[in-house]
A and B are shown apart, each in its own frame.
Chain A
Amino acid sequence: MTDAMTPGPTSEDPVLAATGSVPNGPGEPPALDATHHASALLRVSDVRKVYGEGHTEVVAVADATMAVDQGEFVALLGPSGSGKTTLISIVGGLLSPSGGTVTLGGSDVTGLSKKDLTAFRAERVGFVFQSANLVPFLTARENLLYVASLVKGTSRAQAQARADGLLEELGLGARAKNLPEQLSGGERQRVAIGRALMNDPDLVLVDEPTAALDTAMGRQVVELLRREIKGRGKTGIMVTHDLRMVEYTDRVFEILDGHLTHVEEPSALRH
């Protein structure tokens, strides 16, 4: 289990290291916040994830409740090992929770079979992982086209037009035929954003998108993410432990030791 349960700041977490913990702002508890979002597209209710049992039991996520509206771009903030990656993995259909429910547009994700979860991830979720994670032997354009091929009924011409449009919009028109190894870190992350948007998903999940980028490039990427997600009316969740990136989000959920603690306005976290 790489998502260790070590609470508190880590050496790779300079901002949190400086503050000593997740900022304890004035935001309200996520469960209470969720009641204000009655028509939320994404609803996470009492989600729990437990690994092991008995003496070896580790609670990775404890009764998490949150609601995110359509068109919202929120941050999930927490130190390494706080459970944020586990939580978005459950939201994105990569992991099954030990308890609780996740609904997206009214559909219960937690009740889906493995096969249906695979289709759910292809059709309704866009992922942007750390370090881009592109398929190394496919060009930028082919990385986008491959995801389109995972959805039945997508015509080749339609997919090509959409891939070309996305790459153009992301400033990668001239790099479409380049392999990932021929792209810079920022360009790779932009291709990953294009791939995440390729199938017009309802939800975009972004995991530490700036982890392999310098600050300036990180800001550019997150700004671009916000523009694309908001501009297309998608719902986005960005996992980060970098406080500098939360200013691009609409709300910030904070998680510590598997517990969603409170929801903040990004402005409340400025130092």
Chain B
Amino acid sequence: MNLGAAEVRRAKLRFGLLTAAVSLLVFLVLLLTTLSNALIGSLTGALDALQADGLVYSTTARDNIVASRLDPATAQAVAAVPGVAAVGSVGTFTSRATTAGTTTDLQVFGFQPDAPGAPGGLSDGRLPAAPGEAAVGGGGVAIGDTVTLEPTGIPLTVVGLLRGAQFNALPTAYVDLATYEEAISAANPGLPFVPVNAVAFDVDDGADATSVAASVAGAVQGATGYTREQAVALIPGISSISQSFGILVGLTFIIGIVVIGFFFLILTVQKLRSFTLLRAIGAPTRSLAATVALQITLVVLAASVIAVGLTLLAVQGLNTGLPVSLSPVLIAGTVAAVLAFSLLAGLLSIRRIARIDPATAVGAR
């Protein structure tokens, strides 16, 4: 005889409403987390997915790849740093671009194929191997489309699609370094040389990327080395954005858990007469506590299923311009955390049950 399940079966409306309320809270947590991950991913994806152990910027860049300007020859100097196994120059700029009559902003990254600094996250097609080819993340383009850089008029043929490789929340095109140099030269005639923004490097097997990155400043004049993780974390504003979303998601989570705890406390208080009776006729506190725990588990799991469904619908329906996707790890983690903390909040109810004096069932107190 399972008391908790029997009550849920008999009080469908009450538990249905409770499940609906909890599902909205879980939905809010999932959606906020998904959107914040998407936003942060679209700001940092390019560096996060970069195929390199570290990056070197100009010292004057103040940790910002966009502000960095390096002589292409810097790559050789970085290659000579002890522990560095391979290097590749990386350039980037923002441009207007037209695709099928639609003009939009586009972040362009130039890299050297078969060297550190190639993009990650290829979801379809291939990476560019020749001038005039591009792999694109975001922007709704398809393989075979032509993206024309403005005002230079350089056409790029889309040969690959990328996921999680955007930068600055813009559609991002990856081209070979020659195409990058052509675009920069066309837009800035008379440049003595085309600067690159960064030098990507891989370290030797067994070498520590952090140590190698730290040694760059001393070995290469006017340059500062970063591990890839450091470079991502130092993208301007990313720390504040992460923190703000963290607070938002955290508060929603805490409020949700407190509300769930109070819901079950109210249900417990409403059932005190029954619980007192059950204690009087010999029901142990632990079996009544298990009843509450089972009901919390049922409600949270049912609510999570609804919340995941709602979040999937929202992710498909929302047109944020960001590569939003619902991660199974995020779902499992959120549901597990909501369940664990809801059970903790359920201790309020269990504490109330433990305080029941069975003698009050017969009014002997």
Which partner residue on chain B sits nearest A88 by CB separation?
A: B362
Instruction: Across the A-B interface, give the 9 residue pairs with the lowest CB-CB distance, nearest first.
Output: A122-B282, A89-B364, A121-B282, A2-B363, A94-B359, A137-B10, A149-B1, A146-B1, A145-B1
Q: Which A residues touch B287, using CB under 8 A?
A: 150
Q: Hey, what's the 0/1 contact readout for B245-277 against A, CB within 8 Å counting as 1?
A: 000000000000000000000000000011001
Which stretch in A7-15, A64-72, A105-113, A128-136 binds the other chain? Answer: A128-136
Within 8 A of B (CB), among A98-153: 115, 118-123, 125, 127, 129-130, 133-138, 142, 145-150
Does B284 lie at the interface of the complex (its beta carbon under 8 Å from any beta carbon of A)? Answer: yes
Q: Which B residues touch A3, using CB under 8 A?
A: 363-365
Q: Which A residues touch B364, using CB under 8 A?
A: 2-3, 85-86, 89, 94-95
Does A195 lie at the interface of the complex (its beta carbon under 8 Å from any beta carbon of B)? Answer: yes
Contact A127 B1 (CB under 8 A): no
B105 → chain A, closest Cβ, in Å? 61
Tell me the complex Cα distance, A2–B6, Å: 32
Q: Which A residues touch B361, using CB under 8 A?
A: 94, 127, 129, 133
Q: Hey, what's the 0/1 contact readout for B321-365 against A, CB within 8 Å counting as 1?
A: 000000000000000000000000000000000000011011111
Contact A137 B6 (CB under 8 A): yes
Contact A148 B1 (CB under 8 A): yes
Give the A interface residue count (CB, 8 A).
36
Does A18 lie at the interface of the complex (its beta carbon under 8 Å from any beta carbon of B)? Answer: no
Range for the number of chain B residues in contact with chain A: 20 to 34
Pick from A95, A136, A142: contact of B359, CB under 8 Å: A95
The total of interchain contacts (Cβ-Cβ below 8 angstroms) comes to 87
Does A269 lie at the interface of the complex (its beta carbon under 8 Å from any beta carbon of B)? Answer: no
* Given known A-B contacts A3-B363, A142-B6, A146-B1, A133 and B277 have beta carbons under 8 A apart: yes
Does B100 lie at the interface of the complex (its beta carbon under 8 Å from any beta carbon of A)? Answer: no
B33 → chain A, closest Cβ, in Å? 36
Most buried by B among A119, A125, A129, A130: A129
Within 8 A of A (CB), among B1-53: 1, 3, 6-7, 10-11
Which partner residue on chain B sits nearest A151 by CB separation?
A: B282
- 11 A-B pairs, CB-CB below 8 angstroms? A85-B364, A94-B359, A95-B359, A95-B364, A118-B282, A122-B283, A123-B282, A127-B361, A127-B362, A135-B278, A137-B6
Tell me the complex Cα distance, A3–B364, Å: 6
Which partner residue on chain B sits nearest A144 by CB separation?
A: B1
Tell me the complex Cα distance, A149–B287, Å: 10
Tell me the complex Cα distance, A150–B10, Å: 21
